[in-house]
Chains A and B, each alone.
Chain A
């Protein structure tokens, strides 16, 4: 059969795609199956595990912290995505206007935060928000807003917002670039026609620009959502891996990581990975459906 496969000219294609399939089997499909197998195990010692069937999934679904982690992840994502979208759109519209000077410089400037590694921003923010020595508290006291330092690091809402702020600051430049690409793809004829018809600039924006930018916005939403559901690095660094205060920054992936690599419960961590996997599949499917409808 193998000889026949190679001899037949039509089948040579298989040989060419074989390396890809081998890599996919080893590095994607196999880990997916193995993770499922792992999710049925429970550690006895660091090296010994016992088979527990679907116990890890049962624990997961009845554990309030799991839902807290989902809530945290969505909250942090929404709090940075909405302002990021508005800000990026505004800047993209402004910076595609040929009347604005030094557009290139601004574009680079706004994109720069995206090049900084998340870990260093996390460390920077942890120092910035420090209780007695942090610059933020010093500024607030100097300005007379606070009379004594406030321990931001122990404030749940403040820490969630800080992470959203960092995410926003890091990504609005990137989103802006995508929007600018989307804007430049809109034909100039449409604007010309709108001008001739006497449309005001706000009418042009809402009736021409925005509807035609919808595919771009959907693309941004899908990529941002998939990235947002996997948020890990900044919550990890800013709280020294503790996910605190009071699990306020325990996102789904941080929860998974801490279970797998701090509590050494690979089984439970794998079950978490599967839960995350299913969630991302569902939301991606919904997003693609929405995009598909438009086309």
Chain B
């Protein structure tokens, strides 16, 4: 018979083993990843680089870019994985991977909504100095693109092939019906000022007897509103609510109450379907929004090359300049193949030949100003009735100021959006909505003073 003593002692043994393993693993120091030995700098041709490099991204654009890279670097093989960021899957995947000090992926992308957190955490290798010397390479780029990836020491950590200035797209048919003209310059007179824009909304409603709307949802305005601020949301550990956000809440309710927007929410299925049914005049979208959101949803068949674009869309000036989104790519600070990873980052973020091919292939707006200058005169977008959208974006890209962007903006702006929705639907008073927003910020940043 097994003695009771023995059972107890073996149980204790197991418990001790558990505790020891817990202490050993649990007490590992939680430090930011340190830079491994930097690769030696020497002149190498593209064919000299060889090996495998692992690249992760949340966007599948890179799937088409990587073969272009491999063609230029014949001895480098890219193992590319897309991890969609639906429900923050990508973000959490990067988090768990890097927290466990993994050397792969060698390079990975980050999006405007969360890349500041990557930078703060030190996930990306700083590339300003030798052997990378990115500072010398970024002179031709739209300044905000490398500058917004600078860490606390002022070093660049990531590059991007794109700049993402915003615009406003409108249905020419509705513009003609309401304003008697579909000329972008004339339409811009109505769309470039927020008060006039609201007036235009009333005109759309009157002319069409309330059957058509200026906007699919007031939330479409949020991006330029969020850009319209002169300070970060958190200053000296205190919450700052920009005046523009308060105005937006009021306008949102006016628009909802007066039937100026159609009652959908950005990114929800009815919002996408409203693009095709012709009931909405304007969509406020940036560069990528044109190619990846509006075109495939407004005219899916033409976008697949099954027929010609109708050219019923135009581009006008939005009520305020803004930038929305953007994808940056940086080197994993723990990678063992930083030289190869740097070639990927440099190729995407800087290479003129690549960016020219890419913009011609996709119409995406690239970050290299030399490429912009070269291709701008030749651009004509059939979806926009032949309008040259590049020309406008070149001007807008120069105006972008994202210096107030902070690591928690995405969460804070979502919390604001929640309260706007409650106020606009009449479920809450204005003051209550602002007070509840402060509570919501406290949930995100418990140490920040909100009053």
Closest A-B pairs by Cβ, 10 of them: A46-B121, A154-B425, A132-B263, A133-B270, A45-B121, A33-B22, A47-B121, A151-B425, A45-B120, A37-B26
B396 within 8 A of A: no
Contact A49/B30 with A11-B2, A154-B427 known, Cβ cut-off 8 Å: yes
Q: Judging by beta carbons under 8 Å apart, are B19 and A14 in contact?
A: no
- Is B118 part of the contact surface with A, judged by Cβ < 8 Å? yes
13 contacts between A and B (CB under 8 A): A25-B14, A25-B21, A30-B21, A46-B98, A46-B121, A59-B446, A133-B270, A154-B422, A155-B427, A245-B422, A246-B428, A263-B443, A265-B446
Contact size range, B: 35 or more
Q: Is the CB of B2 within 8 A of A261?
A: no
- Specify which of A45, A46, A149, A245 is in contact with B421 (CB 8 Å cutoff): A245
B interface with A by C-beta (< 8 Å): 1-2, 6, 10, 14, 17-19, 21-22, 25-26, 30-33, 87-88, 92, 95, 98-99, 117-118, 120-123, 262-264, 268-270, 273, 411, 414, 418, 421-422, 425, 427-428, 436, 439, 443-444, 446
Shortest CB distance A49–B (Å) = 5
* A263-B411 contact in complex given A30-B22, A48-B30, C-beta closer than 8 Å: yes
- A5 → B minimal CB distance (Å): 9
Chain B hits for A156, CB < 8 A: 427
Which A residues are in CB contact (< 8 Å) with B123?
46-47
Instruction: Tell whether, in the assembled complex, residue A261 and residue B263 are in contact, meaning their CB atoms are under 8 Å apart.
Output: no
Residues on A with C-beta less than 8 A from B414 are: 242
Query: Given that A132-B270, A154-B425, A241-B87 are known contacts, is A65 also in contact with B443, CB under 8 Å in the complex?
Result: yes
Residues of A bordering B, CB below 8 Å: 10-11, 13-14, 21, 25, 29-30, 33-34, 37, 45-49, 59, 65, 126-127, 130-133, 149, 151, 154-156, 240-242, 244-246, 259, 261-265, 268
B249 CB to nearest chain A CB (Å)? 14
A47/B30 in contact, CB under 8 A: yes
B18 touches A30 (CB 8 A): yes
Known pairs A37-B26, A47-B121 / 18 extra A-B pairs, C-beta < 8 Å: A30-B21, A33-B19, A33-B26, A46-B117, A46-B123, A48-B30, A65-B439, A126-B268, A127-B270, A132-B270, A154-B422, A242-B414, A244-B418, A244-B421, A245-B421, A246-B427, A263-B443, A264-B95
Min CB gap B265→A, angstroms: 8
Complex CA–CA separation, A65 to B442 (angstroms):
11
Which chain B residues lie closer than 8 Å to A264 at the CB level?
95, 117
Assuming the contacts A14-B10, A133-B273, A242-B418, asked whether A268 and B264 have C-beta atoms less than 8 A apart, the reply is: no
- CB neighbours (8 Å) of A59 from chain B are 446
CB-CB nearest in chain B for A28: B18
**Which among A127, A149, A244 has the highest number of chain B CB atoms within 10 Å?**
A244
Tell which of A10, A29, A65, A265 has the most Cβ of chain B within 10 Å.
Answer: A29
